[in-house]
């Protein structure tokens, strides 16, 4: 029998049950059923053609060699400009490392900060891959409840209760997936104060920075008193409708990036120069793609909220940001899992159960906004029909 490292056990079967509805929806599609799929969130517009032109030109003019571990000079300069302008402090290339997407950035950053015996704190609900990111390090995940009555925004008092002597890192996500919650600068400062008191790192997942409908973006990276303990991670996946290019980065203290560089080099040996050129170009101007997505996702969120409002006790508040809306179906008496599975079988509408994103989202559904308006409308009709049937059954 061959032996494997314990990391394979820690990650085995991770989350496959969370995707049961999505997997069943794909099966039904293959069997010929027409399914309206609101499970996955992925930009529904193509990567802008001017970006593709830059990547193609770069490829054709020899930008296909090896890069270096930190990133190509052009993209480092573009990121320096972005974060210097945003933070009001000088953020040079020594503060930055490029990675293939936020996901890689999260994983490698976390490997540099925590290990077995440590605790990493996240909100609950949380983005589905965070469990794997934490477990890969060997650390244990500890949750802070994100409460509907606070608009799912993490509160410093709740964080304080989750801290133990083993806590090393707070993994913060604003704007938040799946709730769309956007932390205010005051909330970030209060959360940061707890982290300062307990000497915690803050890893700030900011992939939805440009997809805010309501409120303004605040990051611990932008607060000078938190800068020495904050590492922000982001990418062009959402902001520029370019998830397949896998172009992301982290920004943090120079000492941190220097310490992490050998790990990044040993794993990645640099990222693709032609994609770096495309990313540098994209970061050099306002994102028209983000403006388009903000407009359509906000419109669809309003549409869903209006359609579901008060039907059989259901509610769906318009989120502050992102690519999803949550529907509160607790009044139907069904769990999110049971409602979502019945919705798929009976109405051929696929949505994610809230439970897939943590215990605190039990009795909710997550609906993707990156689907055309007519499909959104038909999905709402299916939800209304099922909820109405459930209510009639209850009162009969
Ligand atoms: C909160 C959050 N973080 C990270 C990612 C991954 O982004 P990337 O494509 O940059 O790896 C996603 C993608 O859905 C996300 O929702």
* Cα 243 to averaged position of ligand 1 atoms, centre (Å): 9
For residues 128 and 134, what is the distance between their CA atoms, to the nearest angstrom?
A: 11
Q: How far is the CA of 255 from the centre of ligand 1 (A)?
A: 25
Residue with tokens 């517009």: 45
pTM of the model: 0.96
Residue nearest to atom 12 of ligand 1 (CA): 207
* pLDDT recorded at residue 212: 98
Task: Report the pocket of ligand 1 as residue ranges, CB < 6 Å.
Answer: 101-103, 127, 173, 177, 205, 207, 235, 237, 243, 248
Q: How far, in Å, is the centroid of ligand 1 from the Cα of 365?
A: 19
Q: DSSP characters for 292-307?
A: HHHHHHHHHHHHHHHH
Beta strands in the chain (DSSP E): 36-37, 96-99, 119-124, 140-145, 167-173, 201-205, 230-235, 248-251, 324-328, 349-350, 352-353, 364-368
Domains of the chain: 6-46+288-395 (3.90.1150.10), 49-283 (3.40.640.10)
Give, for all 396 residues of the chain, the pLDDT tens digit.
999 999 999 999 787 788 999 999 999 999 999 999 999 989 999 999 999 999 999 999 999 999 999 999 999 999 999 999 999 999 999 999 999 999 999 999 999 999 999 999 999 999 999 999 999 999 999 999 999 999 999 999 999 999 999 999 999 999 999 999 999 999 999 999 999 999 999 999 999 999 999 999 999 999 999 999 999 999 999 999 999 999 999 999 999 999 999 999 999 999 999 999 999 999 999 999 999 999 999 999 999 999 999 888 999 999 999 999 999 999 999 999 999 999 999 999 999 999 999 999 999 999 999 999 999 999 999 999 999 999 888 887
> Which residue puts its alpha carbon closest to atom 7 of ligand 1?
102
351: nearest Cα among 317, 319, 376, 314: 376
pLDDT, position 13 = 78
CA-to-CA distance for 212 and 294, rounded, in angstroms? 7
CB atoms within 10 A of CB 93: 17
Closest atom, ligand 1, to C-alpha of 248: 10
Cα 216 versus chain centre, distance: 17
Distance, in Å, from the CA atom of 379 to the CA atom of 381, rounded to the nearest integer, reads: 5
């Amino acid at each position: 029998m061959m032996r494997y490292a314990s990391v394979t056990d820690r990650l085995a079967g991770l989350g496959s049950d969370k995707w049961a509805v999505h997997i069943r929806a794909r099966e039904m599609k293959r069997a010929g059923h027409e399914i309206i799929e609101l499970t996955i969130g992925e930009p529904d517009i193509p990567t802008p053609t001017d970006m593709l032109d830059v990547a193609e030109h770069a490829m054709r003019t020899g930008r296909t060699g090896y890069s270096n571990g930190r990133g190509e000079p052009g993209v480092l300069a573009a990121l320096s400009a972005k974060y210097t302008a945003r933070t009001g402090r000088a953020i040079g290339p020594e503060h930055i490392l490029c990675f293939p997407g936020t996901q890689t950035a999260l994983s490698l950053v976390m490997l540099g900060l925590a290990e077995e015996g440590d605790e990493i704190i996240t909100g609950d609900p949380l983005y589905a891959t965070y469990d794997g990111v934490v477990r890969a390090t060997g650390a244990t995940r500890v949750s802070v409840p994100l409460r509907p009555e606070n608009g799912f925004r993490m509160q410093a008092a709740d964080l304080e209760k989750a801290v133990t002597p083993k806590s090393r890192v707070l993994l913060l996500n604003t704007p938040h997936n799946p709730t769309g919650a956007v932390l205010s600068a005051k909330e970030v400062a209060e959360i940061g104060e707890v982290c300062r008191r307990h000497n915690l790192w803050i890893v700030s997942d900011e992939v939805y920075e440009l997809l805010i409908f309501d409120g303004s973006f605040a990051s611990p990276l932008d607060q000078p008193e938190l800068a020495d303990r904050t590492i922000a991670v982001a990418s062009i996946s959402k902001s520029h409708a370019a998830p397949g290019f896998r172009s992301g980065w982290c920004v943090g203290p120079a000492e941190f990036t220097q310490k992490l560089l050998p790990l990044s080099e040993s794993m990645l040996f640099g990222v693709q120069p032609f994609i770096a050129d495309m990313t540098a170009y994209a970061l050099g101007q306002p994102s028209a793609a983000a403006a388009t997505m903000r407009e359509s996702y906000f419109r669809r969120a309003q549409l869903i909220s209006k359609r579901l409002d008060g039907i059989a006790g259901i509610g769906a508040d318009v989120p502050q940001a992102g690519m999803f809306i949550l529907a509160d179906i607790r009044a139907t008496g069904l769990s999110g899992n049971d409602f979502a599975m019945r919705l798929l079988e009976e109405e051929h509408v696929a949505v994610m159960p809230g439970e897939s994103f943590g215990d605190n989202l039990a009795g909710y559904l997550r609906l993707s906004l990156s689907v055309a308006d007519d499909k959104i409308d038909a999905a709402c009709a299916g939800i209304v029909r099922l909820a109405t049937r459930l209510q009639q059954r209850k009162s009969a």
